[in-house]
Structure formats: structure tokens, C-alpha cells
Amino acid sequence: MYKVCLIGYICLCVTAYMVAALITNFQRALTLLVIWLVVVVYNMYALLRDNFGDSITHHMRPVFKSCGRNMFWIQWVFVALVVAGLATWIAIDTSKRPEQLISGAGYLVFLFGLFITSKYPSRVIWRPVFWGLFIQVCLGMIILRTQAGFDAFNWLGSLAQTFINYVDAGASFVFGKNYLDHAFAFKVLPIVIYFSAFISILYYLGAMQWLIFKIAWLMQMTLNTSATESMVAAGNIFVGQTESPLLIRPYLDDLTTSELHAVMTAGFGTIAGSVLGAYLGFGIQAVYVITACVMAAPCALAVSKLVYPETKKSKFRSHAGLLLEKTEHRNIIEAAFVGASQAIPLVLNIGGNLIAFLALLSAVNGFLSWFGGLMDCPQLSFEMICSYVFMPITFLMGISWTDCFKCAELIGSKIFLNEFYAYEALSDMLQIRDTGTVPHVDPVTGVVYWVDERSEAIVTYALCGFANVSSVGIILGGLGIMAPHRRGEMAKIVIRALIAGIFVSLLNACVAGFLYVP
């Protein structure tokens, strides 16, 4: 009784404080209001579930049985209505902006290419494919086409940007007031350590496990994927390609090959919450990166089930018995310390890889320049080759012809180097554009110096993912330690998973191109 009274008193005090803050300045107190509403709604749901859940289930059982008997027709009617609605909306919407049709056509071309190169094209189960892509497009429409959705994610992006800026206190203390002279090493990389400590705290509090479990449950109910692959895909929204498989480490040995492929694809097609802050540190639009993270999870499962369909019976069709491990940290301070310590090897890995790959790139460009110079083409470079190889892909994504070659360079750099280098190159272009002193295209040489807002949005989605050559070794090493006797099987499917992960980002970019409105 005492505990109930204490909780009630605290709730009343918090509510009174919130009301006073709203009266004082509504805009300033908006964040507190959102948090309060989320807590209230969840507690109301938990109260109904715990006290009336069995009764509601009992009374709804006849409805569920009736739906089950007619599920075949319900599904096809639903699909028909969705297709008809989308066709009508597309016809109306693209009449104003016909360039959007290119992105839509690119989306279909990419899917068709994935289907014809599928491991078992005749055995594709279409429910996870359809639902994964449907959720991806719906999320894109809510965020990019509704004012409420855009404002919500823009608000989240602003919060994330504000939260990231607090790293300046630690960076300036350790590296001195002139730390921005070496922005990547002393500004961007410390964000990874900061975010890792924060995520570790969320794990200690149990918030991360709860959120991952709920998202995984939603994806399993809609896509009908197994509990394990749904859990990993949900986890990849927040943690990296080697951390998310830890959520299901005890079950890795019993995964089917298709499930193992889905785990890899989800790792390649998404990014980690710890490095999200680093991307925002480059000045990349927060709303685009956060949206891409969320959209990639269902799309990764859809693409994986299209590229490598399930042909065996999974042991993990239900979440029953599937538990998320709790952290062993004794208090919140230890959780933050361990999280920061775990990020140090990651930071060294990022910095070391960039040094090595950029040095190798410079050497390759030196050789190509010499080789091209023999035919009076000394400007030949790795970036130039990428611009021609990936130009058709960028065009199909809906990027303007003027920006196609420049964005193709970025995609090539992302695939063969990593997304950090590509985002930094994009950031440099955006800074040049924002100065307003450099033309879009040099009228004499035809050199493109920066990309427009539409191209920026599309290519930001295309670059958002770990699908690059260096990640192959990372994911094989991480998963190989957890399930050593399946290393040979992993090696056989990892390239297929890498390609699937690349196309997850490209499909996200097509959705962004189709839905983008200036």
C-alpha cells in the first residue's frame, strides 16, 4: 500500500510539474509532454493487459476463428485494396512530379533483379517479402509525406543532434579547445564512444531489451518470420552487425541457412546506433538517417527472404522460450564505463581502416593516373570508374542526371571503402553548396561541385548501411566466434548477403526518391 501511495504521489508531482511547464512555455516543454504521454499510454495498456487481457481474448476468440477460416480471402482482398489505393495515389501524385516515376521504376527493377538471382526463385514465400516492403513504404509515406510524421522524426533528429553536441564537453577537455582542427579524430570518433556508453546504460535499465522485443514481435506478426531473425533485425536498428547476433547467441547453432542469411543481411543493410551519432556529426540530415535506420529493418528481412528463401522448418517460430540476456553490470556507472570501453576497439578499427583504405586508394589513383596518362587521360581515378559503373543505379534511384555521376562516386566509395568516407565526402559537398559562392556545375569544365537537395536526400538513404567489402571480414569474424562450426556455411552465403544488404539501402533510396517533396 505504501509503495502504491508513493508511486501515485510521484506521478501527481510529475504531472503538476509538466502542466506548469506547459503553461510557462508550451514549445519548450513539448519533449516532456511526449515522454509523459508515452509513459501514460504504455501503463494504461499494461493495466488492461494484466487485468482484462484474458477476458478480452476470450470474447475476441470467435472473431479470430472466423478470420482464420477466411484468412485466404481476407489477405487477397487486403492486397487488392492496397494495390488499387497505391495505383490511384501514384497516378495523382506523379502527375505533378513525373520524375518520381523513375524512382518507382528503379524500385521494381531492383526487386526483379533480386528475384531472378534468388537462390530458390520458385520457392519464395511472398508474405514476408510483401509485408516487409509494405512496412518500409508505409514508414516512408508517414515520415516523408505527412506533416505529423515528418515533424515527429525531425523532432527526434533535433533531440539526437542536441544530445550529440554534449560530446564537445568531453572532447574539448581531453584534446583541448582547438580539437575541431582535427574534426574527424577529435569530434566524430568520440561520438561513437559517447553513444556506446549511452546504449550500454539503456541495456542496464532494460529499456533496450524491451524496445527490441516489441519491434521484433511486431515484425514477426506481420512478416511471419522466425523469432530469431526478427529479433536480430529489430536489434540492428540500435546496435551493430556483430552486437545484434549476441541477442540470439545461444540459438545460432540451430538457425536454418535462410535465417543465418537474414541475420547477415540485417547486419549489412542497417547501421548501429553508436555510429549514427558520428554520421550526424558530419552534418548529415538527422531525419533522413533516422528514417533510413527504421525503414531498413523490415526491408532487410524482405530482401533476405527474396534472395535466400526459407526451405526448412525453423525451430524458432515463436518467441516462447526465447529470452534476451540481461547485462551483468552492477550499477549504472559500471554500465557506462563498460560501454565506453567496448567502443574503444571500434573507434580504433574505424580510424585504422580509414587510414589504410585511404592510403591504398591514393596508391590506386596514382597508378590509374599514370596508366590513363599513357592515353592522354591523367584524370583517370577510382572515383571516375565508380561514377560510370554505378551511374545507371543512381539514375534509377531518381537522382537528377546532373548529379548522377557525383552520387555514383559516393556509392562506389561506400561499397569498396566504407560509409564513413562516403558521408564525409557528401558533407564536404554540402558545405560547398551552403556557402553559396560555388556554382553547381562549372560552366567551363563541366565539373559538378555539389548536389541539390533532392539528390542529397536520396543518396543519404543509399549510403546508410554497413554493406561494404571491409564488413565481410567483420561479420564473418564476429559470427564465426559465436558459431565456429558453421563458418564454412557462413563463408558460402556472405557475398550473397552483402549484395542483399547493398540493395536494402538502394531500395530505401528509391522510396525516398519516390516520396520526396521539396
Q: Which tens digits make up the pLDDT trace of 368-387?
A: 899 888 888 888 888 888 88
Residues 388 and 408: beta-carbon distance below 8 Å: yes
- The Cα-based distances of 261 to 138, 307, 442, 494 in angstroms read 25, 9, 45, 7
The residues that bridge with 67 in the sheet, in sequence order, are none
Q: What are 441's strand-pairing partners?
A: 448
Which cell numbers in the block locate residue 439? 556554382
**φ/ψ of residue 438, rounded to 5:** -110, 130
Look at residue 9 in the predicted model and tell me its pLDDT.
80
> Mutual orientation of helices 453-463 and 419-435 as an angle, nearest 10°?
170
Q: Which helix (H) or strand (E) holds 75?
A: helix 71-94
Distance CA 17, CA 388 (A): 59
Distance, in Å, from the CA atom of 319 to the CA atom of 312, rounded to the nearest integer, reads 18
Measured CA to CA, the distance from residue 37 to residue 265 in angstroms comes to: 35
Q: CA-to-CA distance for 494 and 498, rounded, in angstroms?
A: 6
Whether the CB-CB separation of 481 and 394 falls below 8 Å is answered with no
Predicted confidence at residue 377, as pLDDT, reads 84
CA-wise closest residue to 402 among 386, 389, 413, 391? 391
* Whole-number Å distance between alpha carbons of 31 and 29: 6
Task: Annotate 388-413 with b (16+ C-beta within 10 A) or e (fewer).
Answer: eebbebbbbbbbbeebbbbbbbbbbb
pLDDT at 107: 95
Distant-in-sequence, close-in-space partners of 297: CB < 8 Å, separation ≥ 6: 215, 219, 233, 234, 236, 237, 266, 270
Torsion, Cα 494 497 499 500, to 10 degrees, reads: 180
pLDDT at 321: 53
The predicted model scores a pTM of 0.84
Measured CA to CA, the distance from residue 359 to residue 155 in angstroms comes to 39
- Averages of pLDDT over each 10 residues, the chain, 518 residues: 73 84 82 81 79 75 69 74 79 77 93 94 90 91 84 81 84 85 80 84 83 83 86 84 78 88 92 79 86 92 94 74 67 88 83 82 89 85 87 93 92 89 90 84 78 92 90 83 85 93 95 87
Which helix (H) or strand (E) covers residue 419, if one does? helix 419-435
What DSSP letter does each residue of 83-130 carry, written as one string?
Answer: HHHHHHHHHHHHTT-TTHHHHHHHHHHHHHHHHHT-SSGGG--HHHHH
The H-or-E segment that residue 367 falls in is: helix 332-373
